Structure 1
């Protein structure tokens, strides 16, 4: 089996990365940064997000496992004291593959020829560079509302515990193939109206955002911030691709939610 290890870059994470690399090579596993079967992320959720985007072209061939060196993460389920146990598990134990839904974002431009496609593990956010964001929101090809406010956040189920939660969105279990649309400070008065609640869309529904005015947009895809000009539409849906996690032991989602937000 081929493997790769990514690190947050701090001293603790780098030390663990080198240890795990040496241990796994002692077990005759092959280190391959280009075409790994399994990627070990050492750091936190941000480190795993980086690894996901680095290997997004190999999602059907590569599985991920996380070691967290800081606060408990939603994607990193092993701690530094367990790395020897994890190394033995990787080297000796067949792992279970758990798949999580991803968000597909397609940005089309008014010139008709250019479009950009992205995958997000957590979320995509859309904001206007100046002033309020004004967008027609279409669902399944029908106009749902004209949104006015600070911005919109489209999240995956696994990303529903991140920015989406801070916006008052629901926490969705990652076994549900859906995306969620949450508002950022919408404008609601006698003239302008939005639904005012997060929307959960199943995998056969598409959300299409169409600019009402000619402005530039700041669009984030997970940790990546992009500036897009001359935007015709932003299409969001559940992606055909999924991220694959290597599970060597149970990692209950609701326990992670409880440990992260409730347990002291």
Structure 2
């Protein structure tokens, strides 16, 4: 098995990484370290670290599977804790993992100079205007749905629905649903301006297009942890990507248990 270990820069994660490399090196007949063409990428840190690992191996997304080891503040994607390295190595040696696949978000960004780029996100993409309010037309499958005014818009995957999307009032969605969710950031709703005022969910064959009304205004466009500031956006389209991200699950934690563990805890009040 070809393994790459990807950790954040904290001393804690570096120590866990070093310990894991020692344990794996004891089984050289089974494991080789390969950062270029791995079969399994083990991310050590929090969810932000795993997002970085995802972006690093994006061009191999159909060939690699991820395993998360939690040392950060939030480990929603992680099945393992930092003190379970022995158990993780035993599982790598003995078990055939179940492959769990999650939907990804595809963004097509059209610039005013005619150029275009395609970006994949595991959590979400967001548009925000640097100053003032963002004014944009929102179209669904080419038909005008609303004219938005507010701080911004986010498009989230089901797994990303527990991140920024949840913080701004979006719904938490099970990743078995191949869909994306568009949520408003502080929309303006009065007698002059009117938007839906709530998140909307579209299916795998639907396309959301956001067209800024003032193309020369500076906008921050983010994809997961990556940010771009530009005044050249003509429009951005969001849809469910045909690619998916794969996790090697040696022990599967059900989605709603992850949600409960991350946000509620184990305490039950009678």
TM-score scaled by structure 1?
Answer: 0.97
Compute the displacement of 1:250 (Å): 2.0
Ranges in structure 2 where 5+ consecutive residues have no aligned partner: none
Q: What secondary structure does 1:48 align onto?
A: helix
Cα distance in 2 for residues equivalent to 1:140 and 1:72: 35
* Cα shift at 1:154: 0.6
Could you report, residue by residue, the CA deviation over 1:19-73 in whole angstroms, capped at 9, with x for unpaired residues?
Answer: 2122223212110001100000111111101100000111110000011113451
Match of 1:120 in 2: 121
TM-score by length of 2: 0.95
Q: Structure 2 CA distance, aligned partners of 1:216 and 1:229? A: 4
Q: What residue number does 1:187 align with?
A: 188
Matched, 1:69 2:43: no
Show the counterpart of 1:222: 224
Q: Partners of 2:112 and 2:103 in 1: how far apart?
A: 30
* Structure 1 residue matching 2:17: 3-state secondary structure: helix
Determine the structure 1 residue equivalent to 2:97: 95
Q: What is residue 161 of structure 2 aligned with on the other side?
A: 160
> For the Cα contact (< 8 Å) 1:24–1:91, is it kept in 2?
no
CA distance in 2, matches of 1:45, 1:205: 28
Q: What residue in structure 2 maps to residue 250 of structure 1?
A: 252
Match of 1:31 in 2: 33
1:220/1:90 CA distance change after superposition, 3 Å: same
Q: Secondary structure at the match of 2:48?
A: helix
| CA deviation vs aligned residue, 1:139-175 (integer Å, no higher than 9, x gap) | 0110000100000011000000011111111100011
The superposition leaves residues 219-252 of structure 1 with CA deviations (integer Å, 9 ceiling, x where unpaired) of: 1111111112221110100011110000001211
For 2:172, the equivalent position in structure 1 comes to: 171
SS in 2 for 1:90: helix
Aligned length: 263
Secondary structure at 1:61's aligned position in 2?
A: coil
Report the aligned-residue RMSD. 1.1
Instruction: Classify the secondary structure of the residue corresponding to 1:251.
Output: coil
Aligned to 1:53: 55
Task: Name 1:17's counterpart in structure 2.
Answer: 17
* Matched residue SS, 2:229: strand
**Residues 1:137 and 2:138 aligned together:** yes
Q: Structure 1, residues 59-93: CA drift from partner, whole Å, max 9, x if none?
A: 11000001111345110121122111101211332
CA contact (8 A) 1:209 1:235 kept: yes
Q: CA deviation at 1:15?
A: 1.2
Deviating above 3 A after TM superposition, structure 1's stretches of 4 or more consecutive aligned residues are none
Please, which moves more after superposition, 87-96 or 133-142? 87-96
Q: Confirm or deny: 8 A CA contact 1:103 1:237 kept in the other structure.
A: yes
